[in-house]
Amino acid sequence: MIGTVLGNRYELLEKVGVGGMAVVYKATDRLLNRYVAVKLLRSEFQGNEEFIRRFNIESQAAASLSHPNIVSIYDVGQSEDRHYIVMEFIEGKTLKQYIAEKKGTINWKEACDIAMQICSALEHAHSKHIIHRDIKPQNIMINTENVIKVTDFGIARAASGGTLTMEAMGSAHYLSPEQARGGYTDQRSDIYSFGVLMYELFTGRLPFDGETTVAVAMQHMQAEPVRPSKIKEDLPKCIETIILKAMSKEQRLRYESAALMLTDIKRAYLDPDSAAQATDLEEDEKFGTKKITPIVSITLPGGDGTEQGSKNVVRRTEEDRIKKKKDNKKDIIAVVAAIATCIVVAIIMGVIVMSVISTPAETETYQMPNVKGLSEAEMTKSLKHLREEGFEIEEVYEYDRNVEKGEVIDQEPKMGEIEKGVKIVITISSGKEQINLDDYTGTPAEEAIEALENLGLVVKTSQEMSDEVEEGEVVRQLPSEGHVLETGDSIRLFVSSGPNKFELDNYVGSDVAEAQAELESQGVVVTIAEEHNDTVPKGIIIKQMPNPSSVMMKGSQVTLTVSLGIEIITVPNLTDLTVDAASDALTNNKLKLGTVTEISSGKAKGLIVKQSIAEKTTVQANTVVDVWVSKGNETAPETPAVETPVVQQTPNSAITSDTGL
């Protein structure tokens, strides 16, 4: 299929993924000159109406969603009975690959950031009444900028769609109990699968595993997972609580919505010591033990002296009998006290009831709207009627890197009926926190990193030789002291490696100007090499020599190979050439010969009459050019020749006359 053009627009370049239902290709959109991903329904399913239906469901479901953490759908089509979907091309890797690479070493705050992006995508999908039903790290992409993209809505259905059979459901390791049973599924089924994904993300391990799909599914229905904190001891308690609530066997015990779960994850990220608003799953309640009196088995004789059977009895000691007598006396005293208490309580209740009967009153209730996600102005408008009714409304402002400034983060009480006089608290985002950067030069690197991460900054480090600053301390920082940053911004610390050596960083994927300046500041001689690349933007480093982590000294040489971007080729003139000559001309110009079509023409047979892309047009390398070749004129049958009589003439000099004068 490589080189095939779908819909006269999408040229398939390379295969990038294979699923149970479709094959995914990287392709070029010839019209918009950009890379796209094309999901092509596998050929063996072309006649299968169920698979075609599910394929169409994916395109319809995903196309109705517009969210930064959900892959965008650009186009759908059909070419020669092959159904395809055109979508955003993600340059990166699957979350499954990322987790495998990290081997359980993902920092819990980084995992929280990933989880919040996925949960935000689920919240958006569920708000459109779309349930994914196959949430797993294989269906989640993480691009080079660490932005999450949820993909593959191949078995998504409307939230009112009801039950689906197990064979149409998600992968076994992330399957909810109701999916395993073939029961009713709703948005809480996605939440369970997301809980399993979070378990793996935070611990590096799956909660359930087995030799067969059935064995894994049975564990989802019956077994309890090992607590995440027993795998990762530094995992905050509130994160564990969120994961275990999402993975509750019963749907009613899970989060009602992805929005509520997202609120808890955000709270845990900002304040891990706080208790997340989730079901309390304490160790002693869920996995606790209870001490019991020992039971012994004795054999009872029959009437004829033979063994009639056995019976389990509790063996009591003398100490037990004395204790029982004391307990009996205590029981009598307790009964008397209870009777007396009941009489007093009855009298008090009687007085209260009479008071209520004599002065009847009704509790006035109002409707609290849902203002979460609204702007400040929209929220004020929605709560205007409650303010006019005398409700106290307190507005609390909090920094939040994931919620736009001025947008409502949370509300208390939630949407529903509220009584007169209840205080309403609205939490509004102040956007990202503004941080006035201090000077960390001369500070031990570990202390500086901890302080900066506590401020919500992303810290990157590089080693740098220094004769003045001790090894392990900060030599300098970018940006410098006094700069104002926001939470989530990056800062780079240059850490002293001592006077003579340092460890080379990985500059692949970095801007060449920044990398060159940084290396030259460390006394390194930088050589720049350039080459064209179809996937790496111009000016970005493709590779480096020596490799990262190499020990460098002042005066060492580093070669950086930089992308020139996509190579642009000028199409040559192919007319009047033979097909072989045209093929050579295109190959020499890094282009490809496409379809060759014969047509009638006045040109000699075998010569090219026209080409699909005009000469001197600029295109990308490897572009395909189609040609039309002359097969000569269509000639009519030959007409017999007609003889022409020959007339002999006598030369003038030979004319004579028979008459005389």
Instruction: Kindly give, in sequence order, each residue whose CB lies less than 8 Å from that of residue 531, ignoring residues fewer than 6 positions away.
Output: 542, 561, 562, 563, 564
The length of the chain is 661
Structural tokens at position 659? 């008459």
Catalytic residue, chosen from 75, 113, 134, 304, is 134
DSSP conformation class of 66: -
Burial class (CB in 10 A: 0-12, 13-18, 19+), 132: buried
Hey, what's the torsion of the CAs at 35, 37, 41, 42, to 10 degrees? Answer: 90
Distance between CA atoms of residues 148 and 122, nearest Å: 12
Among 500, 490, 438, which Cα is nearest to 467's? 500
Is the backbone peptide bond immediately before 546 cis, with ω within 30 degrees of 0?
yes
Structural tokens at position 628? 């039309």
- DSSP code per residue over 371-398: -TT-BHHHHHHHTHHHHHTT--EEEEEE
- DSSP code per residue over 439-506: --TTSBHHHHHHHHHHTTPEEEEEEE--SSSPTTBEEEEES-TT-EEETT-EEEEEEE--SSEEEPP-
Distance between CA atoms of residues 572 and 566, nearest Å: 19
Distance between CA atoms of residues 250 and 224, nearest Å: 12
Among 589, 637, 633, which Cα is nearest to 611's? 589
Catalytic residue status for 75? no
Instruction: Kindly list the distances between the CA atom of residue 79 and the CA atoms of 10, 22, 35, 460, 534, in Å, as whole numbers in the listed order.
Output: 11, 15, 19, 48, 26
DSSP conformation class of 184: -
Q: Could you tell me the strand order of the sheet in which 92-94 lies?
A: 92-94, 140-143, 148-150
- DSSP code per residue over 154-172: TT-EETT-----GGGS--G
Residues belonging to the active site: 134
